[in-house]
Every structure is written in structure tokens, then in C-alpha cells.
Amino acid sequence: MTIVDTPTDAAPTAPTGGPELPQERRLVTEIPGPQSRRLLERKAEAVAKGVGHTIPVATVAAGGGVLVDADGNSLIDLGSGIAVTGVGNSAPRVVEAVQRQVAQFTHTCFTISPYDSYVEVAEALNRLTPGDFVKRSALFNSGAEAVENAVKIARHYTKKQGVVVFDHAYHGRTNLTMALTAKSLPYKSGFGPFAPEVYRVPLSYPYRDELSGADAASRAIAQIEAQVRAENLAAILIEPIQGEGGFIVPAEGFLPALQRWANDNGVVFIADEVQTGFARTGTMFASEQFGIVPDLVTTAKGIAGGLPLSAVTGRAEIMDSAQVGGLGGTYGGNPIACAAALATIETYEQENLTERARAIGGILAARLNELKATDPRVGDVRGLGAMMAMELVDPATGAPDAALASRVAASVIAQGVVVLTCGTWGNVIRFLPPLVISDELLNEGIDIVGKALIEC
Ligand SMILES: *Cc1c(COP(=O)(O)O)cnc(C)c1O
């Protein structure tokens, strides 16, 4: 006789993700519900505490503009897993390409025996990134790894060591990228010593410094010339719009002036487009909108519909300077991730998602500026395309109000909307919706943010 033990509190069968999921906000329990609580308890017992979480739910499916949890709640997704799922979760082309590839072969190590999809991703990146010079690409696994490799390549090419980065910058959590990242807590504190030959200079932060782009660039360049000098400097590394640092959009002219100085002084100009890349800002890469053509571009997040992949793309003479065997890694450019990237890039292009990002940006900018007009605690609204944010401040002093940002975010999340904060002072609420979200869901999400702001 077989005894079937039927658990009474089993999670309902997980729905399939993708755009077919009902596109609605639906709360059937409080957030987190009982199934999510159970997962979070197990997480606390099994997973290192340093690995945090923002949204206290156990995800079981996601697609379009929603994320469904184990209790059956459907949350509006205004975060895209930090700007990763621009094409949506389980996007149909990505699912199909991954399924095909996983059944074909899962791994060879590209540096052992090459395959077509890696080369095709490199060709696509060489075509899509700014600049009509001859380019090469190399593929890696994470954004931090791409940034590390861009610095390695720039040092090898210039035979110099210094790297200039900016206030508020975020470039990752590995040893070199911790050194490149500005914010101490939580990213660096206690994890030193950090890699040497990294120099931090002031950014252009129009809301707080009120400098023109040209003046902010002169200030940065004067500091570089006084404290580093071009003859010691391999690269200037900058996010065209800072991501974790607070969605800071530099004043017009800042980035071109830096690039000009770098080009004139034998310094490699690297744009870290890990967060801004792939249609997010309304063009394939944000650099295009600032009139810059970087020597090297790092990409990751939006590249492969959620599969881990990253890249460095740039001028052939710089990229080719590293010796054979000097670049690579066991998993870099994994065939499943490459298949996903090709399907993702096809989706951006076929579905006109750059245009969709601009439309989303229009809605976000209009709605957030309405909030700003009626609430002096909204100090600044900024961003490009589907990468927008509002900076919350004390209206009397302009001081960052991180407590308000956390209260608003917590209230919004409890009402079934995924929203993220950022900024050196944690006082910025950022919006990074999937580019396939409907106007209805987007507006409903912003409504909830607006109400939470009034209530907090
Ligand atoms: C997220 C991010 C990184 C790091 O990417 P990981 O994949 O998390 O290593 C680097 N640069 C920028 C601009 C980022 O937003």
C-alpha cells in the first residue's frame, strides 16, 4: 500500500511566466504572505546575511509588467530586476532560444572550442555600440567583470595604470570594482584593502552643484591634472547616467568635454553602460544622447533578458592589445546566455523598444513632475527614457531625506508595486520598468507612489 502524504499548506502550482500572465496588480494576502514568509525564514537560515533583499516575496513567475509570488499576489514591476529584463521576464523569443540551445549544447568554454553565437553577439555589439570605427568585443559574466576587463585592457594598451572615476559612481562589488565604486555602506565598508591607482573626481550633478557641463568638466580635469596627470592615467571610467549613485544626469557638455580631454591626452575613455544600455534610455546606448563616442563600452544588465552575460566593446586597436589568453574565463559568453542575448537584441529591434522607452519616459516625466509641482519634498525629477527617478529632500534645507524614501518605498511595496531606491544618501526613488509594461500598469504603479508620498 502506498501512503500519499498530501501537504496541506503546499504552494499552489507555479504559473508559467512571460507576457501571457494576467497583467494586473492583485493582492490576495498581505505582503509578505505566508508562503513568502516561509521562504524568507529559510533564507535567513541558509543564505549569508550579506546577500540582502528589497522585495520580501517568494517569486514564482514574472512577465510583461508583473511579478507573481508564491501566495498568488501579482505585483507591478517597476524595477526589471535592476534594469535587466527590459524585454520582460521569460520573453517569448528568449525562452525559445534558450530552450533550443540548452538541448543542443550547454558549454564548451569559448576559449577551448568556439561557437557561432558568441561571435554573433560580438558582431551585434560591434554594430550597435556608438562609433563607426572597427571594433572588437569580449564577453564575460557580470557587469563587474566587464568593468574589470575594460580597465585591464586600457592599462595594457596605454602601458599606464591610473584610473579616474567619479563621485557617486557604482561599478560593482569585486575587489577592483569596489575601489572604483564610491559608496562605502554597504558596498565597501570592512572589505578593504582596495586596489590602488584609482582616483576619484567630482561629477556634474546639476541639482546640487548648479554648474554648467563645461564648468563641471573643467573642475574635474583640473583635479586630474593636479592629482594624477595624463602621463599616469590609463582610463577615465564613467556611467553616462549614474545608476546606483542616484540616476544623476550630467549637465550638457560635461561628458563631451571629458571625452575630448581623454582623446587629446592618450587616455582611454570608457563608458560604463551596464545599467543605461540596451534601449533603456530611449536609444540603444545612453552615450548617443550625450554626443559621446567612448573608446570602450561595458554592457551587462539589459543584454540577455535575464541570463548572466556582459561585454566589453570598443576600438579594435585597444581591444586587440591584450595578449592571447589574457582575456576570457570559464563561463564568459556561455552559449545559453549568448542565445538569450541574440533573442533579446532581436526583441529590442523588432519591437521598437527604444521608442517604447521614450514613451514610458514621457509618462514618467509628466507624472513625476506633477508630484514635484505639488510637493516640495520632491527636490528633483531626472532621467532619460525608462530610467527616471525622483530625489526626496527636506524642503527647508535641501538635505537628502532617506527616511522618507524608505517609508515611501516600503508603503508602495506593501501595496504590490516593486520599486527601488538608490543614491549615495539613499533618498532617490528610481523607476526602471520593463519596456513591455502597459501604460495602465505603469500609471497604476505611479498612482500608488504618489499616494504613498502624500501619506508618508
Ligand atoms: C550593476 C552595475 C554594475 C555591476 O554589475 P554586476 O552584474 O552586478 O556585477 C557595474 N556598473 C554599473 C553602472 C551597474 O549598474
- Residue 404 near residue 51, CB atoms below 8 Å: no
Residue 173 alpha carbon, nearest atom of ligand 1: 9
Q: In a mutational test of the pocket of ligand 1, which residue from 142, 247, 249, 274 has the highest number of ligand atoms less than 8 Å from its CB?
A: 274
- From atom 15 of ligand 1, which residue's Cα is the shortest distance away? 275
Q: What is the DSSP string of 287-343?
A: HHHHT---SEEEE-GGGSTTS--EEEEEEHHHHTTSPTTSS--SSTT-HHHHHHHHH
Task: State residue 8's pLDDT score.
Answer: 47
> Is 208 strand, coil or helix?
helix
Helix runs in 320-438, H state only: 335-350, 353-374, 402-414
Task: State residue 316's pLDDT score.
Answer: 98
Residue 310 alpha carbon, nearest atom of ligand 1: 7
Exposure pattern of 129-144 as b/e (b: 16+ CB <10 Å)? bbbeeebbbbbbbbbb
Low-confidence ranges of the chain (pLDDT < 50): 1-8
Residue in 174, 230, 156 with CA at minimum distance from that of residue 199:
230
Q: What is the whole-number distance in angstroms between the Cα of residue 334 and the centre of ligand 1?
A: 19
- Residue 137 near residue 121, CB atoms below 8 Å: yes
Task: State residue 4's pLDDT score.
Answer: 45
- Residue 333 near residue 121, CB atoms below 8 Å: yes
Task: State residue 13's pLDDT score.
Answer: 65
Task: State residue 425's pLDDT score.
Answer: 97
Task: State residue 15's pLDDT score.
Answer: 82
Task: State residue 9's pLDDT score.
Answer: 53
Residue 143 alpha carbon, nearest atom of ligand 1: 5
Q: What is the whole-number distance in angstroms between the Cα of residue 301 and the centre of ligand 1?
A: 7
- Residue 378 near residue 405, CB atoms below 8 Å: no
Note if the pTM is more than 0.85: yes
Q: Rounded distance, CA 427 to CA 390, Å?
A: 9
Domains and CATH numbers, the chain: 2-90+353-455 (3.90.1150.10), 93-350 (3.40.640.10)
